[in-house]
Amino acid sequence: MEDSKEQAGGRTRAWLWVPSLYFAEGIPYVLVMTLSVIFYKRMGISNAEIALYTSWLYLPWVIKPFWSPVVDILKTKRFWILVMQLFVGAGLAGVALTIPASRFFQYTLAFFWLVAFGSATHDIAADGFYMLGLTKHDQAFFVGIRSTFYRLAMLTGQGLLVILAGHFEAKTGLPPVEVEVVTTSAQPAVPAFSPGDITLRSEPATACFFAGERVTIGTGAVPADSAIKLMEAVEQWNREHGFYSGEEQPALRWEMEGRTGNLGFTWFHLSRRPEEGERIVLNFSFERGDKSIALLRNYRFEFDETNWDVPAFALFQADPKLDRTTYATFTGLSGNIRLAWSVVFGVIAVFFALFFLYHRFILPRPKEDVPRGNREGEFLKEFLIIFAEFFAKKRIGVILLFLLVYRLGESQLVKMASPFLLDPAETGGIGLTTGDVGLIYGTIGIIALTAGGIIGGIAASGKGLRYWLWWMAIAMNLPNLVYVFLSQVQPSSLWVVGASVAVEQFGYGFGFTAYMLYMIYVSEGRHKTAHFAITTGFMALGMMLPGMISGWIQEMIGYQHFFIWVVCCTIPGFLIIPFLRIDPSFGRKEKK
């Protein structure tokens, strides 16, 4: 009876730290991998430099299994969590403080590197602490909860923090300017580009931007050569009048064949001359509406005393598959971008200080959470033993094979699902617009995936991993048949496509629970923290290698046969399950 009360109390307390711990785990990852890209784009860094330098920031997560033994041997997992939350907060504070510097790109990159290594180390410690701080039954119960809050962190970083930065940008400069773009079937031709026909206004008493009227774009495809001529004319005009900084790419190559989506454009100019040496930046981007209407590039215009009274142009393009009237709103912001992003990163740094204080008092102190070796000789010995013990596990070949093939079908499906939905029916796709795909995956898919993960965790905590393994494997793989259905029938109904994707995403969320729990199960032992990090490395390898060749396979055999191939690739995962040896009680609530 006392044990039951103790378990109930442990679960109640786990609700206080599991969600917050995994929310704190996800935030720095999305900051480094996603928000940094948006930040550098806002600061005028070229696409080539952004792609090159931010891609390297992923390296700490790739190689984290190699230093996971350090976390497992030295100090406690609780210690590493708290220290890394302070470390990440300090790194973000460093980003905030160096944004105003003249060499901000180099300085902020250095701090992002520190945040990346701190975040990857925090991941190792948090995953290890999760296994130490919860009973096996509660580990199964909370596996969906932890995934949900990790995904909420992703949404916060990609959405809420970007909105916050946009808010500060709008409030620290000239009034924002909005442009509405509407599609209609009345104007199917590419518009003529005549800068001389634009009438400019001047209001010296008021500093603001003027913009063109509502933009109307005809739906349907237009000749690619006409579209390219307009694109090149707009780019040449903007460059000749100094609206792009020297860090921008010297030229853009438009690669189109046949016909493409129709175009439209708007223009901007200042109401009065800036002060000598003053440079006012206008960032123009999507605000709301249908994402089937998009900008041709991320526009960042620079106005000074030489070009303030010359119009700068921005191009829009409608998805060639769009056949309905719709609209989108785009916003130009001219605020103090450096100040806005300094505030954002400063706010997040403060939150990590609060995470530290909160977890300092709320995280439990598991008896098993102890250092493994502190002396130099012990450390080196333990470091080697960790890897030796992992690869000396019984049936290690079966374990590694399962980690590599359980998601063999899904690893290829996930790469080709969006291209399949976007590609036109003539090439075997569904022919959805970009906005439709964003709605399906960004809303319906996220809800289904999260629900599947939570229900999977609750189910596994009831009867254990061994009982649910086959059912979860079926849930992971059988819904892939919906893509066989979609590729054969090619339905035009968005509801049918959305429902099919929801089924597949729910099954993936439910089935992935078994995969996560199995990694926890095989990591049991003295060095479960380091061993779990090693299993995540094989998990990544199992996704990376098949995903690399999925595009080539699809091009060779077409979508219809590709999704049949994906279903066939699920068979190895089923064949290996009978060879797994799992304790029937793992994850299941113990009877008293």
The type of residue at 345 is F
Mean pLDDT for 469-498 is 90
Q: 384-416 burial string, b = 16+ CB within 10 Å, else e?
A: ebbbeebeebeeeebbbbbbbbbbbbbbbbbbb
Right CATH number for 393-592 from 2.40.110.10, 3.40.920.10, 3.40.50.300, 1.20.1250.20?
1.20.1250.20
Mean pLDDT for 350-360 is 95
> CA–CA separation, 390 vs 405, rounded Å?
19
Quote the DSSP letter at residue 587.
T
The DSSP bridge pattern shows strands 221-223 and 263-270 to be unpaired
Comparison of pLDDT for 194 and 426, the residue scoring more: 194
Quote the DSSP letter at residue 379.
H
Q: Where are the domains of the chain?
A: 1-173+337-377, 175-334, 393-592
Right CATH number for 1-173+337-377 from 3.90.1640.10, 1.20.1250.20, 3.65.10.10, 3.30.200.20?
1.20.1250.20
Q: 189: number of CA atoms within 13 Å, CB side?
A: 3
Helix, strand or coil for residue 160? helix
Mean pLDDT for 294-298 is 83
Please tell me the predicted confidence (pLDDT) of residue 17.
92
Give the bridge partners for 299, in sequence order.
284
Q: Which helix (H) or strand (E) covers residue 253, if one does?
A: none
Q: Which two tokens stand for residue 491?
A: 């339905």
Cα distances from 574 to residues 402, 408, 473, 506, 564, in angstroms, run 9, 11, 7, 19, 16
Q: What are phi and psi of 168, to 5 degrees?
A: -65, -35
> CA–CA separation, 146 vs 160, rounded Å?
20
Please tell me the predicted confidence (pLDDT) of residue 186.
67
> Cα torsion at 519, 121, 30, 13 (round to 10°)?
70
Comparison of pLDDT for 86 and 459, the residue scoring more: 86
What average pLDDT does the chain have? 83
pLDDT band at 522 (very low <50, low <70, confident <90, very high): confident
Please tell me the predicted confidence (pLDDT) of residue 204.
61
Give the angle 360-454-88 at the CA atoms, nearest 5°. 30
Percent of the chain with pLDDT over 70: 90
Q: 537: number of CA atoms within 13 Å, CB side?
A: 20
Contacts of 378 (CB under 8 A, 6+ apart): 73, 372
Comparison of pLDDT for 333 and 239, the residue scoring more: 239
The type of residue at 248 is E
Place of tokens 């302070």: 86
pLDDT band at 122 (very low <50, low <70, confident <90, very high): very high
In sign, the C-alpha dihedral spanning 101, 107, 108, 114 is negative
DSSP characters over 495-519: HHHHHHHHHHHHHHHHHHHHHHHHH
Mean pLDDT for 126-145 is 84
Mean pLDDT for 16-20 is 91
Comparison of pLDDT for 278 and 268, the residue scoring more: 268
Cα distances from 409 to residues 219, 252, 370, 488, in angstroms, run 37, 37, 40, 18
Model pLDDT for residues 392-433, shown as the tens digit of each residue: 888 899 999 999 999 898 888 888 887 888 777 777 888 776
**472: nearest Cα among 143, 151, 127:** 143
pLDDT band at 1 (very low <50, low <70, confident <90, very high): very low
> CA–CA separation, 510 vs 504, rounded Å?
10
Using the predicted structure, report yes or no on whether residue 48 has a pLDDT greater than 80: no
Tell me whether the CATH fold assigned to 1-173+337-377 matches the one assigned to 393-592: yes
Mean pLDDT for 161-186 is 80
85-89, 450-454, 578-582 — most confident range: 85-89
Report the residue count for the chain: 592
Per the CB < 8 A criterion, the answer to whether 473 and 514 are in contact is: yes
DSSP characters over 190-220: PPP--GGGPPP---TTS--EEE---EEEE-S
Please tell me the predicted confidence (pLDDT) of residue 171.
73
